[in-house]
Amino acid sequence: MDFDKKQLWKEILVEASEKVKKSHILTWFKDTAILSIEDNKVLIGVPTIFTRDWLKSRYAHLLLDLFKAHISEVLEISFEISQALSNSDDNRKVDIKKVWKDTKDNDKKPRRNMERREVRLVEGITSKLLNPKYTLENFVVGPENRLSHAACSAVAEHPGGAYNPLFVYGGVGLGKTHLLQAIGNEILGDNPDAIVVYIPSEKFINEIVEAIGKRHTQEFRSKYRKVDCLIVDDVQFLAHKETTQVEFFHTFNELFEANKQIILSSDRPPKELIQLHDRLRSRFEMGMIVDVQFPGYETRLAILQQKCREHQVLLSPEVLEFIAYNVRDSIRELEGILMQAIAQSQLEGRVPTLKSVADLMAKLNSSYEKNGFNGYEYPISSRQQAANIRPRNIDDVIDVVSAYFRIPRTDLLSEARKKEIMMPRQICMYLIRKELNFSFESIGKEFGGKNHTTVMHACDKIIKQLKREERLVLDINAIKKELGL
């Protein structure tokens, strides 16, 4: 077949840009070219393995369809690495920036996730609009949050039913807002005429203060009592707001008696909201109470993988494992580091590596650098190593436990009795005893000459806690996985 390959590739890219985001065209199709068209097969040259795998997984079908529209005989597309395409003077390439300029109306395309679901409201009520990106389907479910997800799904399916009120609690950045808004979206998806109000507690407080100031309290009461589903985020901020608590108590009762769904979130369970009236706390405890825990390693990794799919990017498994392994404070931080890595990749046109991500993390959060994290190599769990490594001595276990909890090895082996050090130290002793079968005396010598009774007590304590603390089970399983067990 005799074609002007460069012109054909330009036409293909112009057509592809109608369905592909600008950032992807400028980043992933840069330094590509048609190498050959022979035997009903198109061979596309790419500069790196990473680009090859990304285009193959994301756009092979689209490109095949576009080629068929030009050449009906084309049956197959393949990609081949051609490092010469990285050279700026390679004349086989298309000017990718000019391709974008030649594309019609691309800048008029709506951005993803920028729209907010419109909510039908009672006159006078203002609601924070629900974000359609929050769904129950894209909430990554792990053993730590399986119950909370199931409860939210049940409420979305049968609002005003058995799980009323639904009280969701957990730390900052763990996904409570995701679940609350997802329920609202699900209810509106099934019943677009439902009156769903999602409101942070601070806004609720401000509205009550304003109503009292204008002597419109009766209007305030009547309008909130007409909703089908009331979602109040961060109810802990109702503390010490006496008048607000009274009004909320009556609103709660009216909605509950009318079988309207009430969904609440807080940073702690109802029994710990001691600054709230007893009668209000008791109402919160009438229904279903679920906690959203910080996800374990495997769930964190699944979150990162899903975010990559949502944003149509491909990062190496080692980079994702590295981020999941080291970020243990907040899902927001987890996702934030991922998005920074993606942005860096797209803007600078280079593949994120373990070192570049480590440097990025140290820049974003100084605690990584303080803990000696910057430049730190992923210890044992990278795919190339995991299959071949098993702990051979005490040092293997100590090193992995030290890395997992981000505690210096010297602290683990010291006499320090801080809780944040003692628990990892006891876990260390337990794993060495259980997995390596070392004697209590031998373990004690490694940990500053402790006697066998101290080591025995540590192991017994972990065994007992494993029976009742799911988080400890998850931590130890994650450590064992790092050790290849």
pLDDT tens profile 222-233: 777 888 999 999
Distance of alpha carbon 13 from alpha carbon 102, whole angstroms: 10
Higher-confidence residue of 336 and 483: namely 336
Q: Residue 37 in 3-state DSSP?
A: strand
**What single DSSP character describes residue 41?**
E
Candidates 384, 471, 395, 385; CA nearest to 431 is 395
Mean pLDDT (whole number) for 161-170: 90
The arithmetic mean of pLDDT across residues 106-122, rounded, is 43
Tell me if 79 sits within 8 A of 56, measured CB to CB. yes
Inform me whether the pLDDT recorded for 125 exceeds 50: no
> Which carries the bigger pLDDT value, residue 269 or residue 17?
269
pTM over the 0.85 mark: no
The tens digit of pLDDT for each residue in 68-86 reads 888 888 899 999 988 788 7
CB-based contacts of 88, cutoff 8 Å, min separation 6 = none
Between CA 290 and CA 33 the distance in angstroms is: 54
Distance of alpha carbon 443 from alpha carbon 450, whole angstroms: 8
What are the structural domains of the chain?
A: 5-107 (3.30.300.180), 146-292 (3.40.50.300), 297-365 (1.10.8.60), 390-482 (1.10.1750.10)
Cβ within 8 Å of residue 325, ≥6 positions away: 297, 378, 381, 404, 482
Contact 272, 286 (CB under 8 A): no
Q: Is the confidence at residue 458, as pLDDT, over 50?
A: yes
pLDDT of residue 205 exceeding 60, the answer is: yes
Q: Convert the pLDDT of each residue in 346-375 to its tens digit.
A: 777 667 777 788 888 877 765 554 444 444
- The top-scoring range by mean pLDDT among 89-103, 178-192, 314-328 is 178-192
- Taking 60 as the threshold, does the pLDDT of residue 128 lie above it? no
| Spatial distance between the Cα atoms of 225 and 250, rounded to a whole number of angstroms | 9
The Cα–Cα gap between 379 and 370 comes to: 18
Tell me if the bond preceding 192 is cis, omega within 30° of 0: no
Tracing tokens 């763990």 back to the chain, one arrives at 174
**What's the CA gap between 380 and 413, in Å, rounded?**
21
Q: What share of the chain has pLDDT > 90, as a percent?
A: 16
Q: Which three-class secondary structure state does DSSP give residue 195?
A: coil
Confidence class of residue 398 from pLDDT cuts 50, 70 and 90?
Answer: confident
Asked if residue 269 has pLDDT above 80, the reply is yes
For 197, the enclosing helix (H) or strand (E) is: strand 196-200
- Paired tokens of 51: 């680009």
If you average pLDDT over every residue of the chain, what do you get?
A: 80
Cα–Cα distance measured from residue 231 to residue 357, given in angstroms and rounded to the nearest whole number: 38
Q: What is the pLDDT of residue 367?
A: 54
Distance CA 400, CA 409 (A): 10
pLDDT digits (tens, 9 = 90+) for 291-315: 888 888 888 888 998 888 887 777 7
Quick check: 179 pLDDT over 60? yes
- CA geometry: angle 72, 74, 77, nearest 5 deg: 145
